[in-house]
């Protein structure tokens, strides 16, 4: 299960200066600079180009047992509707094998990119599944709040869920996770909002971090963290202690921000076990939940029970336990989606 992936950006690393990667990966995380540099690549986007890069990765995801994916498509004045339309075409093309949810994501901001709001609105009219957002990128708290308000208004109008990137830089003064949680509760949209990254949470003062965790729990905001793609990450253990649903996301595959990745969520869990120092049997069970049932809960996908009448989705591994499954992080023996065998021993079924 992949709750967060920038699917339109995959396999673009070789089209960019490594400076975007260096700025993101430095301890101080100069994400604004990375986003500015990474934006260049979108000028060359066509639907065909996006499809030809994303299609092999979707197939790879299926072979690794991913049966649902929330795909973020840049929807802004640079890529316009090209990326989001390509994602919707992939959603149709692979509907038998994987449930792709398309997020209309204003990567360049809303206030900082005049016109982006209209593109998000048009993407929702054309059938995108989720309203995106990146409020932390705005210049000040008032504009960040406005960004959140505008995206909630679009989500309300279309009766859709929300997925936003919050506090994704090495700046401890960022407060958009809190803003998002408060807005979710005040709008009565509990359980319909996902927060990604929240990397600045690692730098928050402890008391403030606890307050934000409490707010996330109250608003039922699910948090998707990708510790393998950046030097900072959300405080996963604290969030879990407060009862917040936390998932691991793939985030990137060979793009401006991260040069690896193949939608192998066991690999993501394996990497997280080292970064987070979570290796006991109980820890590994938690990590396993963070790539299976937890992301399913956050993106509203049915899964997690083996019982009569439940969806016939199944990933068969040959390892003897969860620790061994993470150690090997290989391809599943079989992948069944809605009762159809879609992959066997890493080979896609027709
Ligand atoms: Zn991301």
- Ligand 1 mean position to 257 CA, how many Å? 9
Kindly report which listed range (26-35, 174-183, 299-308) carries the lowest average pLDDT score.
299-308
The two beta strands, 99-105 and 314-316, are unpaired
Find the mean pLDDT for residues 3-9: 98
Mark residue 159 as left, alpha or beta (left: phi above 0; alpha: psi -120 to 50; beta: remaining): left
- Look at residue 156 and tell me whether its pLDDT is greater than 70: yes
- Mean of pLDDT over the chain: 96
Near ion ligand 1, which residues have CB within 5 Å? 251
Q: What is the pLDDT of residue 237?
A: 97
Give 328-338 pLDDT, tens digit per residue: 999 999 999 98
- Look at residue 161 and tell me whether its pLDDT is greater than 80: yes
Q: What is the pLDDT of residue 244?
A: 98
- Ligand 1 mean position to 164 CA, how many Å? 9
The per-residue DSSP string of 216-244 comes to HHHHT-EEEE-GGGSS----HHHHHHTT-
- Ligand 1 mean position to 251 CA, how many Å? 5
- Ligand 1 mean position to 134 CA, how many Å? 10
Find the mean pLDDT for residues 99-112: 98
Q: Which long-range contacts (CB under 8 A, 24 or more apart) does 234-242 make?
A: 234/197, 234/198, 234/199, 234/201, 234/202, 235/201, 235/202, 235/204, 235/209, 236/276, 237/276, 238/209, 238/210, 238/213, 239/213, 240/286, 241/213, 242/210, 242/213, 242/214, 242/216, 242/217
pTM of the predicted model, to two decimals? Answer: 0.97
Q: What is the pLDDT of residue 304?
A: 65
- Ligand 1 mean position to 223 CA, how many Å? 12
- Ligand 1 mean position to 321 CA, how many Å? 30
- Look at residue 307 and tell me whether its pLDDT is greater than 90: no
The per-residue DSSP string of 29-59 comes to --HHHHHHHHHGGGGG--HHHHHHHHHHHHH
- Look at residue 303 and tell me whether its pLDDT is greater than 80: no
Q: What is the pLDDT of residue 197?
A: 98
Q: What is the pLDDT of residue 278?
A: 97
């Amino acid at each position: 299960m992949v709750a967060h992936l920038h699917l339109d950006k995959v396999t673009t690393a070789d089209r960019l200066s490594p400076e975007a990667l260096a700025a993101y990966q430095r301890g101080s995380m100069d994400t604004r600079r990375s986003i500015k540099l990474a934006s260049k690549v979108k000028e060359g986007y066509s639907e065909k180009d996006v499809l030809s890069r994303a299609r092999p990765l979707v197939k790879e995801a299926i072979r690794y047992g991913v049966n649902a994916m929330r795909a973020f498509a840049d929807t802004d004045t640079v890529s316009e509707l090209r990326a989001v339309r390509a994602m919707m075409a992939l959603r149709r093309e692979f509907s038998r094998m994987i449930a792709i949810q398309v997020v209309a994501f204003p990567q360049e901001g809303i206030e900082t990119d005049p016109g982006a709001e209209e593109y998000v609105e048009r993407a929702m009219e054309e059938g995108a599944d989720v309203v995106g957002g990146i409020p932390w990128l705005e210049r000040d708290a008032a504009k960040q709040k406005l960004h959140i308000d505008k995206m909630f208004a679009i989500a309300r109008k279309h009766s859709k869920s929300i997925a936003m990137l919050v506090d994704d830089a090495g700046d401890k003064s960022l407060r958009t996770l809190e803003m998002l949680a408060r807005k979710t509760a005040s709008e009565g949209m509990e359980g319909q909002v996902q927060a990604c990254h929240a990397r600045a949470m690692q730098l928050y003062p402890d008391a403030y971090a606890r307050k934000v965790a409490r707010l996330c729990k109250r608003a039922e905001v699910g948090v998707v963290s990708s510790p393998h793609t950046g030097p900072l990450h959300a405080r996963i253990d604290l969030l879990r202690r407060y009862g917040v649903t936390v998932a691991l996301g793939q985030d990137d595959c060979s793009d401006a921000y991260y040069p690896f990745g193949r939608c192998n969520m066991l690999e993501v869990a394996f990497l997280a076990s080292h970064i987070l120092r979570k290796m006991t049997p109980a820890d590994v069970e938690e990590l396993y939940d963070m790539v299976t049932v937890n992301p399913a809960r956050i993106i509203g996908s049915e899964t997690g029970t083996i019982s009569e009448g439940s969806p016939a989705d199944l990933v068969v591994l040959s390892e003897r336990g969860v620790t061994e499954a993470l150690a090997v992080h290989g391809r599943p023996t079989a992948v069944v989606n809605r009762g159809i065998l879609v992959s066997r021993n890493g080979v896609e079924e027709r």
